[in-house]
Amino acid sequence: MRGSIRYFLLSVLFTLLVSLFDMINPRIISFTVDSVIGDVAPAFPAPVMGMIQAFGGVEYLRNHLEAIAAAVALTALIRAVCRYFWRYYNAKGAETFMERTRNTVFHHLMTLPTSWFGSHHTGDIIQRCTSDMETIKVFLSEQLASLFRILPMIFLAFTFMYHIHAGLTGIAAAFLPVIVGYSLYFHRRVSGAFRKADVEEGKLSSIAQENLTGVRVVRAFGKEQYETERFESRNETYTAYWIRLMRLLAAFWCSGDLLTAAQILIITCLGTKYCVEGSMTAGGFIAFLTYNTMMIWPVRMLGRIITNLSKTGVSLQRLQEIMTAEPEQDRENALCPDLSGDIVFDHVSYAYETGVDVLKDVSMTIRAGSTVGILGGTGSGKSTLMYLLDRIYPLKEKEGKISIGGVDIQDMSAAWLRSHIGMVLQEPYLFSRSLEENIRIASPSTSHSEVRDAARLAALDESIMKFEDGYETYVGERGVTLSGGQKQRTAIAQMLVRKPSVMVFDDSLSAVDTETDAKIRQALSEHTADSTVILVAHRITTLMHADEIFVMDKGRIKEHGTHQELLDQGGIYRRIYDLQMAGQEAQT
């Protein structure tokens, strides 16, 4: 609420003024009917009677009814101005509140560990940050803010009604606990129904998000009909929950209509009876009916606020689940050491939350400035090693130690560590921006010439210059307008502009042809002599010129040595080499 409170306070001030001026006109009309047109002596407080006398008294007003009309018009005008400022400051408060809330939630999301995102669907997160936030905003700006208008209006209406006829006021007030009671009853039922509908909306959003971002995969496998039916099935479930919720709300509003009509009917009949008996004046009866009508809507709004509180509570809980998630944190007094030293994996083991062991007692040393290759099949744990090195996955206690230059990476600042480790993944993610913006995304101050130099090293500059817009070519969502090889090379250039101390290529040359692969490796060896380079790959030709190669199988290091040493050992590496060389010969 910081930065928004002053706007809401101003909104409350003007809504109180609106409520006050809402109460004035019925009294003017009552006075006109009873004392100006009729002959009933006015019963106003002394200050008000003084104002009437200042205008010439009742006799003057009887001969100049336009003065009363002008008073009614002036009151309405002042009320309209107050209503404008009430709406303006309320809207400004709501939007500044939403701006701060969106920023706060997004900032917190950016601090959460990778594992948290693995257990939450993207569509559901988006739904919480849009639909749930909107529910909270509507409650805050339209219902909770109205509470400051409703309560004074109810109080003032009952006060004026009591002065007109105490008995009739008691009958009108008898309906209040009934309205509040059935509102509380529906509050509990609506809460459960809205929670289910909200969860289903998140699931529906996830399906839509997955299919829109993965549309090429859906088309490639001809699964349009299957995904359409899957969406329709989930949509049907979501719709059923909302219909159930609407049925509850319809019953709530219909019950309110019935009670309101009954209350107005009783007040009208009894008020007519009192007028005939002479215990209430005609003007008083008109004013009482007006105040009663003005009070009915705020009372019903009070019931609506109670009911909508249940929906808002659900949305708040769903956002709270995000805000209470533990962010990724550095240790106290985190270090920012030199990262140009040796990288040591010391008896590292790791298992995902599912309990599956990925790494088992892995120990290896990567010398500073060297180029190291890591070979292994799918699921061997080679990529997990790199994620642990970059602290994308946290290494828990008793799972070993990873150090750079003798300093445990757990003692380092995560931001410092990641700024000095460049990672290129097998499936790079590109943003919906130009190629140049994507390349310099990790280093915004990089000049155009430096961007081109990085692109040349990644064997990408020639391809870019063939595009009509060159480096200003717009890249579609997730790089959909580029080929797999172009995306990988863009990601390589993206990493090279940072000039990190450690460069990790996680199977990031798999989508390029052998000739381009060789060009990139040659360029890297010539221009990254001061950096430690780690090549993770399935293709031996990518690794064979590395200073040392580690072969992984089922989470363990089975072999290590140079290319020739591994061939001489005649183990896993030799078998993979023979298979791949035989495949290349068959293709030629």
Encoded tokens for 133: 């936030």
User: What tens digit of pLDDT does each residue of 117-129 get?
Assistant: 877 877 788 888 8
Flag whether 293 is in a domain: yes
Flag whether 329 is in a domain: no
User: What tens digit of pLDDT does each residue of 171-218 get?
Assistant: 888 877 887 777 777 777 777 787 788 778 878 887 887 777 777 677
363 and 231 in one domain?
A: no
290 and 267 in one domain?
A: yes
Residues 230, 267 contacting (CB under 8 angstroms): no
- Interacting residues of 469 by C-beta distance below 8 A, sequence separation 6+: 434
* pTM listed for this prediction: 0.68
Residues 517, 509 contacting (CB under 8 angstroms): yes
Flag whether 164 is in a domain: yes
DSSP string covering 14-35: HHHHHHHHHHHHHHHHHHIIII
430-434: long-range pairs with CB below 8 Å, 24+:
430/475, 430/478, 430/479, 430/482, 430/487, 430/490, 430/491, 431/475, 432/474, 432/475, 432/476, 432/477, 433/474, 433/475, 434/469, 434/471, 434/472, 434/473, 434/474, 434/475
Q: What is the pLDDT of residue 88?
A: 92
What is the spatial distance between Cα 389 and Cα 398, in angstroms, rounded to a whole number? 16
302 and 288 in one domain?
A: yes
End-to-end CA distance of the chain: 69
440 and 394 in one domain?
A: no
What is the arrangement of strands in the sheet containing 401-404, beginning at the earlier edge strand? 357-366, 343-351, 401-404, 407-408
341 and 217 in one domain?
A: no
Flag whether 232 is in a domain: yes
Flag whether 582 is in a domain: no
pLDDT tens digits, the chain, 588 residues: what are they?
788 888 988 988 898 888 788 878 787 887 788 777 877 776 666 777 777 777 777 777 788 888 888 888 998 999 999 999 988 998 899 899 999 999 999 999 988 888 788 778 777 888 888 888 888 888 888 777 777 777 777 787 888 888 888 888 888 888 778 877 777 777 777 777 877 887 788 788 878 877 777 776 777 777 888 888 888 888 898 898 888 888 888 888 788 788 888 888 898 899 898 888 888 888 888 888 888 887 777 776 776 777 677 778 888 888 998 999 988 888 888 889 988 889 999 999 998 776 677 899 999 999 998 889 999 887 788 888 888 998 888 888 888 999 999 999 999 998 899 888 888 887 777 888 888 888 888 788 888 888 888 888 888 888 888 888 888 888 866 666 677 778 888 888 888 888 888 989 887 766 667 777 777 777 777 777 678 989 888 888 888 888 999 999 888 999 999 999 999 888 889 998 888 887 666 555
- Interacting residues of 259 by C-beta distance below 8 A, sequence separation 6+: 175, 178, 179, 182
183 and 198 in one domain?
A: yes
Strand partners, 375: 537, 551
Q: Where are the alpha helices (DSSP H) in 528-571?
A: 540-543, 563-569
Give me the amino acid identity at 581: M
What is the spatial distance between Cα 18 and Cα 86, in angstroms, rounded to a whole number? 8
471 and 518 in one domain?
A: no
Determine which helix (DSSP H) or strand (DSSP E) holds 219, and give its type and residue range: helix 215-220
Q: What is the pLDDT of residue 550?
A: 93
360 and 273 in one domain?
A: no
> For residue 175, what is the domain's CATH number?
1.20.1560.10
Helical packing angle, 484-496 and 448-457, nearest 10° = 120
440 and 292 in one domain?
A: no
Q: HSE on the CB side for 353, CA within 13 Å?
A: 8
Flag whether 212 is in a domain: yes
C-alpha 461 chain-centroid distance: 37
User: In angstroms, what is the C-alpha Rg of the chain?
Assistant: 37
Flag whether 460 is in a domain: yes
Q: What is the pLDDT of residue 479?
A: 65
444 and 389 in one domain?
A: no
510 and 494 in one domain?
A: no
Q: What is the pLDDT of residue 511?
A: 61
518 and 483 in one domain?
A: no
Number of domains within the chain: 3
What is the spatial distance between Cα 149 and Cα 158, in angstroms, rounded to a whole number? 14
Q: What is the pLDDT of residue 47?
A: 73
Flag whether 475 is in a domain: yes
Q: What is the pLDDT of residue 374?
A: 92
Q: What is the pLDDT of residue 366?
A: 92
Domain that holds residue 513: 335-420+504-536+548-556
> For residue 456, what is the domain's CATH number?
3.40.50.300
Dihedral sign for Cα 10, 16, 18, 20, please.
negative
Residues 528, 499 contacting (CB under 8 angstroms): no
Query: Over 30-99, what HEC string results?
Result: HHHHHHHHCCCCCCCCHHHHHHHHHCCHHHHHHHCHHHHHHHHHHHHHHHHHHHHHHHHHHHHHHHHHHH
